[in-house]
Chain A
Amino acid sequence: MSIAVELHDVTKTYPAPNAVTALERATLALRTGETVAITGPSGSGKSTMLNLLGTLERPTSGEVRLAGVRASSLSDGELSGLRAWHIGFVFQQFFLLDHLSVLDNVAHGLLYRGLGARDRRSAAAAALTRVGLAQRLTHRPQELSGGERQRVAIARALVGHPTLLLADEPTGNLDSTTGADIVALLAGLGDDRTTIVVITHDAGVAAAMDRHIHLRDGRIVGDDLKAA
């Protein structure tokens, strides 16, 4: 199996005044198609790790490689292209645009590929069907429940069929039942071409994934691979 993304001896230190080493000498290789849970106490560096994997952040030292290509060798434009074509994000706060319909929010996931509006919308409708929201296309995000909103955000992340899907506490703003539904949805999305990384506080979520990485104080203190 090929390596989708890897961290090689990565350290991330935020600059002064409150200089914090959020991640220290992390080395990690995620295989294509793998589903991964990242757990750890608040402030342990989970989001920092996810942002490094998603090229939203550059490491202070060490190397991030995507499909073997060193991220440090890429320009802002090239990294943006990478995110537009290969990486999907899901956030705890959903980050939906209130002034757009559900359909257009999802279609936004393809905006920076330079795709025409009609193609974006038809792909968005298909993605919304996949997450069970085919009946909600014209609604505004404010008209949806929290769980439905997160489904919209997931549809937006996967509308372009990314090779890497990164979710930062996707159930953090949801009650436990709704959260369980979202987790089931994320776990069910997996195919052998998509690597899924989910940050979670929920042991159940972690158990549903192929692999479980545990962080504490910016260090990887556990990396369990389940027998498939």
Chain B
Amino acid sequence: MTRNPTTPAGRRSRVRLADALGVGAAGLRARRMRSTLSAFGIAISISALVAVLGIADSSKADLLAQLGAEGNLLTVAAGQTFDGSPTPLPATAESMIRQIPPVLMATAVGTVPGATVRRSAAVPALDTGGISVLAAEPSLPSGLGITMLHGHFLDAIGDRYPETVLGFAAARNLGIDVLTPSTQVYLDGMYVAVVGIMAPAAVAPELDTAALVSFPVADTLLHLDGRATRIYVRVDPDNVAAVAAVLPFTASPAQPEAVEVRRPSDILVARIAAKTAFVGLFLALGAIGLLVGGVGIANIMVISVLERRGEIGLRRALGARARHIAVQFFIESALLSTAGGLLGVGLGVLATAIVARVTGTPATMPVEVPVGGFAAAMAVGALAGLYPAIRAARLAPADALRTP
């Protein structure tokens, strides 16, 4: 080591970046408990932000996928009678609709007026549980893309023997979650075997709360007379609007104004909007949490500066510039928020994956969410570290050394 006594200021005070980071990390390790806790403060809010955005995006992606698949579905119904039960469509409606060239598929259901479903005859008749009885065609599940949770749909046997398929909510309301060959419900005065339970149908929520029977069974045992009350229509996706325009007259030439044509995917659009509204609220809460975490870091760092006056004075005596002291405390704060940010992003992604798995939706995570979450943590750490760092740097060396 050479010295240059004639030009004492010829050599500069400087620190390598690796050493600056090492000193910051060592400072945090020396106060492990409080470092961990304040990093956790950041991690919790970042993970909440990431999870909210991830979960919302996953369910939105699921809804959007359904929306794409269901955009060509139309329903035709004939309004309601005065007592609230659906009016039947003309008997010719379904076959007429099938004649429209862009129609790919049509499948009808018919509401059996006044029919109730109960677990057994012992349950009071007024206790309908909101379950309606619908006649359905075998083409219903394939036409609407509904899968079976248990058992199978109504088939040729169901045309002759009284059996029923329950919607998702109907099965739950009746307390049926497994099917055995002897599972029965009390349907309009007789015991009927339950052969299947359907998965939820996002575009046809009315099916969720229904007990389905075949049209022949409905006709012979329940006196439906084969009349459909609602027809589901799949249309060539390019001609949805055109078909919707001609459907009322096709379904009921005598009374086209009584026919309601709907596009169930509109429900999905509304649901996506509802989900986005929630996200805004949670994001605001997460942002407040992040702010609180940042104040926590700032607080810890200010305390640290007060406690470490002696160390600051020593470092100045060893040749640290005021700027080096500022950088040291700034790095400590940045390391805290980096650790918190990484942990938070990890937890948030994990939570999103778990929720997606539990709800059965595909997990999606736009790359902006973890990147943005991490950047937010870094920004908060930088802001929180600024004031303590400046304060530490402003401390006069001799004053700092005078504190015991």
* A residues lining the B interface (CB < 8 Å): 2, 4, 32, 47-48, 51, 54, 56-57, 66-69, 74, 76-87, 89, 91, 93, 95, 97-100, 108-109, 111-114, 116-117, 123, 156, 160-161, 163, 193
Contacts and interface: CB of A to CB of B under 8 A. Distances in A.
B324 to A, nearest CB: 7
Nearest to B393: A76
B36 to A, nearest CB: 15
B8 A112 contact: no
Nearest to A79: B9
Given A2-B5, A82-B8, A99-B26, A111 B316 contact: no
B404 interface: yes
Contacts of A123: 1
Contacts of A83: 13, 316-319
A contact face: mostly helix, strand, loop, or mixed: mixed
In the A-B complex, the 8 residue pairs with the closest CB atoms: A84-B319, A99-B30, A112-B319, A80-B13, A114-B14, A95-B314, A78-B9, A80-B321
A132 B23 CA distance: 27
Contacts of A54: 317
A81 B316 contact: no
Contacts of B322: 76, 80
A165 to B, nearest CB: 12
A109 B320 CA distance: 10
Contacts of A67: 5-8
A212 B396 CA distance: 29
Given A78-B9, A95-B313, A114-B14, A85 B319 contact: yes
Contacts of A77: 12-13, 321, 323
Given A83-B318, A111-B320, 7 more contacts: A83-B316, A84-B320, A95-B311, A112-B14, A112-B320, A112-B321, A123-B1
B310 interface: yes
A117 B19 contact: yes
B13 A163 contact: no
Interface magnitude class on chain B: 35 or more
A47 B403 CA distance: 13
Contacts of A160: 1
A74 B9 contact: yes
A81 B319 contact: yes
Contacts, number: 131
Contacts of A57: 396-398
Contacts of B8: 66-67, 69, 82, 85-86
Contacts of A78: 9, 12
A99 B22 CA distance: 12
B317 A86 contact: no
16 contacts: A51-B397, A56-B317, A67-B5, A69-B9, A78-B9, A80-B319, A86-B5, A89-B318, A93-B310, A95-B310, A97-B26, A97-B311, A112-B320, A112-B321, A116-B16, A156-B318
A175 B28 CA distance: 34
Contacts of A98: 30
A51 B398 CA distance: 7
Contact of B316 (A56, A91, A114, A116): A56
B1 A112 contact: no
A81 B5 contact: no
Contacts of A161: 1, 3
Contacts of A51: 397-398, 401
B3 to A, nearest CB: 6
Contact of B13 (A2, A81, A95): A81
Nearest to A117: B19
A123 B1 CA distance: 10
A167 to B, nearest CB: 12
Interface string B320-341: 1111100000000000000000
Contacts of A108: 318
A112 B317 CA distance: 10
Contacts of A79: 9
Contacts of A91: 314, 317, 401
A44 to B, nearest CB: 15
A2 B19 CA distance: 36
B100 interface: no
